[in-house]
Amino acid sequence: MVERVRPGVLVVEGDADSRRRIAALLGEAGIGVTAVADGAAALTAMSRRRFDLAVLGAGSATDLSARFGGRALEIGPVDEGEPRRFLGRVRDRLLDGGESESGAGEAELCIAAAKLACLDRRQRAARTAGATELVESLAREIAETVALGKTLH
C-alpha cells in the first residue's frame, strides 16, 4: 500500500489568536499545517518545504499571493460560526491546485484519507459518549467517503 502524505498548508496570519485558530481547525481536519506570523517567516518556511496551499491573512496577501499563484487563499478574519465553510474553501482550493488530472486525483485521495481519520476520531468519541445515532450517522459518512476513495483509484 502506498503511504499518503497529508496536504501541506502554510498559514500566514499576523494575529496570533487567528493564526492558532486556523492552524487548529486545519490540523483537526487532517491537513498538515505550518503557521507563521509574517512574510519573512513564510519565505523561510517555503525554502524548507513545498506547500500545496497558502492561507493568507489580510496583511500578508499582497506580497505572498503572487508566489503561490492559484494555490493561495486570501481570507479575512475567520468567522467562528463558519469553520465548515472555511474548510470547504480550503479543500476546494487544494483540489483545484492539482497541476494535472492525476495530481488532482492524488490530492482528493489525500483529503479523503484526512477526512476518514477525522471521522474515525469523531466516531470513537461518540461511541464513548454513548451517542448511538451519531455513531450510526458517522458510520454512513465513513462508508460514503471510502466508496468515493475507491472510485478515484
**Does 114 share its domain with 148?**
yes
**Does 78 share its domain with 8?**
yes
Identify which has the larger pLDDT, 6 or 82: 82
User: Which cell numbers in the block locate residue 14?
Assistant: 499576523
Reported as a single tens digit per residue, the pLDDT across 4-16 is: 456 789 999 988 9
Q: Please say if the pLDDT value at position 92 is more than 60.
A: yes
- pLDDT value of residue 4: 46
**Does 81 share its domain with 125?**
no
User: Which cell numbers in the block locate residue 4?
Assistant: 499518503
CATH number of the domain encompassing residue 66: 3.40.50.2300
Domain range holding 118?
101-153
Total domains in the chain come to 2
Q: What gap in Å lies between CA 74 and CA 132, rounded to an integer?
A: 39
**Does 70 share its domain with 120?**
no
- pLDDT value of residue 106: 60
> With the CA atoms of 49, 79, 142 and 31 taken in that order, what torsion angle do they form, in degrees rounded to the nearest 10?
10
- pLDDT value of residue 35: 95
Tell how strand 32-36 and strand 8-12 pair up. parallel
- pLDDT value of residue 1: 39
**Does 89 share its domain with 129?**
no
pLDDT mean over 104-115: 66
**Does 86 share its domain with 22?**
yes
pLDDT mean over 122-143: 90
Q: pTM of the predicted model, to two decimals?
A: 0.59
Reported as a single tens digit per residue, the pLDDT across 21-56 is: 889 988 888 888 999 998 889 889 988 988 889 998
Q: Please say if the pLDDT value at position 134 is more than 70.
A: yes
User: Which cell numbers in the block locate residue 119?
Assistant: 471521522
**Does 58 share its domain with 124?**
no
- Give the list of residues 6+ apart from residue 105 with CB closer than 8 angstroms, or none: 98, 152
